Amino acid sequence: MTAILRTLRLALVLLALSLVALGGNGPVFAQEATPATATASGIDYEAWESEATRIENLLEAGTASTSFFENLRETLVNWRARFLDAESANSTRINTLQAQIDALGAPPAEGETEPDAIAERRATLNTQLQEAQVPRVEASQAYTRADGLITEIDNLLSARQQQQLLELAPSPANPVNWPPTLTGLTALAGSLQSDFMGRLNNPAQREQFLQSAPVLVVMLLVALVALLRGRLWTHRLTDRLEAHTRERGRPTLVFFVSLLQMLIPLVGLILVLGAFVASGLIGPSAQSLLEALAALMTASYFALWLGGRLFPDGDLPMGVLELDGTQRARARRIFFIIGFFVGLAVVMQTIAAMDEVPPAAQGVLQLPVYAGLALFFWRASRLLQSGRTETGEDESPGFMRRILSLVQRLLILVAVAGPALAVVGYVNMAESLMVPTALSLAIFGVLVALQPVVRDLYAIAFRTTHDSASEALLPIVVNFLLAFGAFPFFALTWGVRPEQLAEVYARFWEGFTIGEARITPGNIFAVVLFFALGYVATRLLQGALRSTVLPRTKLDTGARNAVTSGVGYVGIGLAAVIAITAGGIDLTALGFVLGALSVGIGFGLQNVVNNFVSGIILLIERPISEGDWIEVGSYMGIVKRISVRSTRIETFDKTDVIVPNADFIAGTVTNWTRGNTIGRAVITVGVAYGTDTRKVEKILMEIVRENPVVAAFPEPGVDFLGFGADSLDFRIRAILRDVNQMLSVKTEIHHRIAERFAEEGIEIPFAQRDIWLRNPEALRPTPRTVGQDDEEIDLEAEQPQIEEAMTQDDATPDGPEDT
């Protein structure tokens, strides 16, 4: 029950502090009436000194109760918030005076003088500056003192909490403690009965009950319907909706409709409690017991709802868990029983805290609950073990599988350690282990149940399918943020006091200091907001230039892209500067840090900076543009995109090549289509010796002129290059209207040359070589046996001699011998 109440208090504290932080004036409950002796900053430092001294004396004694120290801590938090505001209350005046002093120039060096008027003015301003800084100094000192006292109270309360956990109570396993427990329960029942009968026999209370009886009956009837039929009706509706869970929006609708399975019975419980309280027939003890019973039913209904969300009926996919219908039904029962035992623990804690029950009865009442929780923790761990899907030999387990494996081991550990601690007598420690484990399991289950809802909302927002939403990054980021937001609830469940969480939250909103500048979440939010607005405005301006303004100019595509990219870089840079300034962050305060980092950044990112500067040069000079056919290094292709770091080229093999921009500036680049698409094609061909060269020249000229891509002016030409080793060599020179068709033009001209030469009987020679042998006698046939065919030659036998003769050096003074 304590953990549940802490969770509710946490939500209220976080909500209050959020409103305070957004208001920017500190906690609203800290604005107390300003005494008559308050200073100009609105703070009575004499009253603070008296209050701080009193609290220091109480801390030194350390005898006050825990609740008293919690109240003192709240008072200190109020003082500290006022001191924090006072630190920056006079900052505008101080900045103005400092600017006036700086405007006078640097003070004279030793041995030098300045005009009397300037010296007098400087002295006056320095005096005013010192007086203006006094409230800031006083507030800073008081803030430090208040913060230190808060830390001392937190340490004292934490020490008491640890001492309570280590308190050794009578062992509940000892039979000696059982009769006092039974006697205490009997006394409690008698006390409740006598209190009820006393109130019933009281004429005034009986009259009040009779007057409100009709309303009470109606409330009880509505509550009875809500408790008995409400969950059943909503469960049927949820089952009908789950039949179409693959449709967009349906999982979210199913989730919110399923919440009625828990909310409607809760309304019934509230009506029951309200009816009993309004009747006036129950006292404080009976009311506490009814609230504990309501907590028991709430935990049970919540466990039923969560089990239905995590382990639904049917054959729906379970992600990392592979459970059949029987296992899912067993999992739902396990969740329900764990929730029931958590509520039962609250009931037992409430009974043990009543005056009629002796302290030794606490362990006796709690031990059966912890034993039941341990049993079903063990069963839940076995279920997780059997439901985890196995991974292959080369496949590493996913994140969720590792989390489930960790949860399984922790459940086994708690199932063994919790009852053991209770049996020994450490009942408080067992309570702080068993119940928080169950609550943490519930929080973890809620996070898992929210994942389909997040994916479905993403699919609705971006008009995509559930499969695509499952592969998207944004739903994963949102789920991680939800898990991060659940950390305070985990901490509160495990014994962290709400005041400690509020302290962490207050520290977070106070921010951190760099130099003389304080960076707060409000500043960061303002920076992000203004930068986002500037970024969106820049993209809108780029879109307008790209689609509306620049197409109406005479600029080519490359120039348009350069202008658009330049506007984008300038706009983003201005957005960053404006955002930082609007967030109240002084850039001079960050100058020292940025200067120290710039040295390391300069060495580590020199290649990146080199490519960035080269990209800027490419966008300004535009030696290449998007759509150009270029050749850089060993790569040739079409320029697809020019960015500030690299350029993407699509080769003719349809592969993308990312080339650093520095290669375009420092290396040699061939641009085949720079400015226009006109280019020259060169084709060489050889004919056999003895061919009429004039006829060949005429044929080649006719072939090249008949191609439609070849330009008539300048007219193509055919050159007789000379006498080659094997042929008479000719060269065709032709200017193409579109150099992008060079390959097809060359192919067509080659076909025409082969066809025309075949028609005209012109031979295209190929290389020939004559072989001269130094020792021809080595090829003479070897003696053969009688009867062998005279025309047969044993080539296999002659092969070694032939190879030896061919490898011998023939460059001898005697010269080669003709064979």
Between CA 680 and CA 741 the distance in angstroms is: 11
Of the ranges 2-6, 753-757, 792-796, the best mean pLDDT one: 753-757
The DSSP output letter for 303 is: H
- Are 639 and 736 found together in one domain? no
Instruction: Tell me which of 420, 454, 472 is where a domain ends.
Output: 472
Question: Considering the domain boundaries, does residue 766 fall inside one?
Answer: no
- Are 192 and 153 found together in one domain? no
Question: Considering the domain boundaries, does residue 373 fall inside one?
Answer: yes
Alpha carbon distance, N-terminus to C-terminus of the chain? 116
Q: Give the CATH number, domain containing residue 619.
A: 2.30.30.60
Average pLDDT, integer, range 541-556: 85
Of the ranges 99-108, 230-239, 280-289, 299-308, the best mean pLDDT one: 299-308
Between 38-47, 713-722, 728-737, the lowest mean confidence (pLDDT) is in 38-47
Position 443 pLDDT exceeds 80:
yes
Q: In the predicted model, what is the mean pLDDT of the chain?
A: 80
- Are 746 and 780 found together in one domain? no
Instruction: Give Cα 547 to chain centroid, integer Å.
Output: 34
pLDDT of residue 108: 81
Between CA 213 and CA 208 the distance in angstroms is: 8
Between 168-172, 296-300, 384-388, 486-490, the lowest mean confidence (pLDDT) is in 384-388
Position 809 pLDDT exceeds 50:
no
Position 795 pLDDT exceeds 60:
no
User: Are the C-beta atoms of 779 and 773 separated by less than 8 Å?
Assistant: yes
Between 257-266, 391-400, 718-727, 754-763, the lowest mean confidence (pLDDT) is in 391-400
- Using pLDDT thresholds of 50, 70 and 90, give the confidence band for residue 799: low
- Are 467 and 447 found together in one domain? yes
pLDDT of residue 653: 85
Position 218 pLDDT exceeds 60:
yes
- Using pLDDT thresholds of 50, 70 and 90, give the confidence band for residue 573: confident
Between CA 578 and CA 598 the distance in angstroms is: 22
- Are 179 and 151 found together in one domain? no
- Using pLDDT thresholds of 50, 70 and 90, give the confidence band for residue 253: confident
| Structure tokens belonging to residue 519 | 């960076």
Close Cβ partners of 384 (under 8 Å, ≥ 6 residues apart) = 321, 404, 407, 408, 411
User: Are the C-beta atoms of 493 and 446 separated by less than 8 Å?
Assistant: no
pLDDT of residue 11: 44
Between 414-418, 597-601, 669-673, 794-798, the lowest mean confidence (pLDDT) is in 794-798
User: Are the C-beta atoms of 647 and 665 separated by less than 8 Å?
Assistant: no
Instruction: Tell me which of 760, 793, 809 is where a domain ends.
Output: 760
- Using pLDDT thresholds of 50, 70 and 90, give the confidence band for residue 731: very high
| Structure tokens belonging to residue 505 | 């939250």
**Domain containing residue 102:** 32-165
Between CA 769 and CA 786 the distance in angstroms is: 39
- Whose tokens are 């008081």? That residue is 142
pLDDT of residue 791: 46
The DSSP output letter for 712 is: S
- Using pLDDT thresholds of 50, 70 and 90, give the confidence band for residue 773: confident
Exposed / middle / buried, residue 190 (Cβ in 10 Å: 0-12, 13-18, 19+): exposed
Average pLDDT, integer, range 533-542: 91
**Between vectors from CA 50 to CA 48 and to CA 51, what angle results, nearest 5°?**
65
pLDDT of residue 21: 38
Question: Considering the domain boundaries, does residue 13 fall inside one?
Answer: no
DSSP code per residue over 410-476 = HHHHHHHHHHHHHHHT-HHHHHHHHHHHHHHHHHHHHHHHHHHHHHHHHHHHHT--HHHHHH-SHHH
| Structure tokens belonging to residue 592 | 């020292």
Average pLDDT, integer, range 752-773: 86
Average pLDDT, integer, range 309-320: 65
- Whose tokens are 């708690």? That residue is 414
pLDDT of residue 38: 45
Per-residue model confidence as pLDDT tens digits over 331-387 = 889 999 999 999 999 999 899 888 888 887 888 888 899 999 999 999 999 888 876
User: Are the C-beta atoms of 483 and 490 separated by less than 8 Å?
Assistant: no
Neighbours of 561 (CB within 10 A): 20
- Are 279 and 160 found together in one domain? no
714: left (phi over 0), alpha (psi -120 to 50) or beta: beta
Between 176-190, 559-573, 625-639, the lowest mean confidence (pLDDT) is in 559-573
H or E element in which residue 596 lies: helix 591-604
- The more confident residue out of 40 and 641 is 641
Strand 679-687: give its sheet, edge to edge: 679-687, 728-736, 717-723
- The more confident residue out of 95 and 77 is 77
- Choose among 221, 222, 196: nearest CA to 289: 196
- Using pLDDT thresholds of 50, 70 and 90, give the confidence band for residue 23: very low
Instruction: Tell me which of 472, 493, 523 is where a domain ends.
Output: 472
Share of the chain above pLDDT 70, in %: 81
Question: Considering the domain boundaries, does residue 10 fall inside one?
Answer: no
- Whose tokens are 């405005």? That residue is 537
* Residue 742 C-beta-side C-alpha neighbours within 13 Å: 15
pLDDT of residue 706: 92
Question: Considering the domain boundaries, does residue 17 fall inside one?
Answer: no
- Are 589 and 531 found together in one domain? yes
The DSSP output letter for 640 is: E
User: Are the C-beta atoms of 698 and 704 separated by less than 8 Å?
Assistant: no
pLDDT of residue 546: 85
Average pLDDT, integer, range 511-516: 62
Number of structural domains found in the chain = 6
- Using pLDDT thresholds of 50, 70 and 90, give the confidence band for residue 232: confident
Question: Considering the domain boundaries, does residue 630 fall inside one?
Answer: yes
Per-residue model confidence as pLDDT tens digits over 85-134 = 887 777 778 878 888 888 888 888 877 788 888 888 888 888 888 888 88
Per-residue model confidence as pLDDT tens digits over 682-714 = 999 999 999 999 999 999 999 999 999 998 888
- Are 398 and 450 found together in one domain? yes
Question: Considering the domain boundaries, does residue 765 fall inside one?
Answer: no
- Are 414 and 321 found together in one domain? yes
Question: Considering the domain boundaries, does residue 546 fall inside one?
Answer: yes
Backbone φ, ψ for residue 586 (5° rounding): -80, 115
- Are 187 and 161 found together in one domain? no
- Are 401 and 535 found together in one domain? no
Between CA 370 and CA 362 the distance in angstroms is: 12
* Residue 72 C-beta-side C-alpha neighbours within 13 Å: 27
Positive or negative: CA dihedral 596, 600, 606, 607: negative
Burial code (b: 16+ CB inside 10 Å, e: under 16) for 362-391 equals bbbbbbebbbbbbbbbbbbbebbeebbeee
Position 30 pLDDT exceeds 50:
no
Average pLDDT, integer, range 460-486: 85
pLDDT of residue 598: 63
- Are 666 and 683 found together in one domain? no
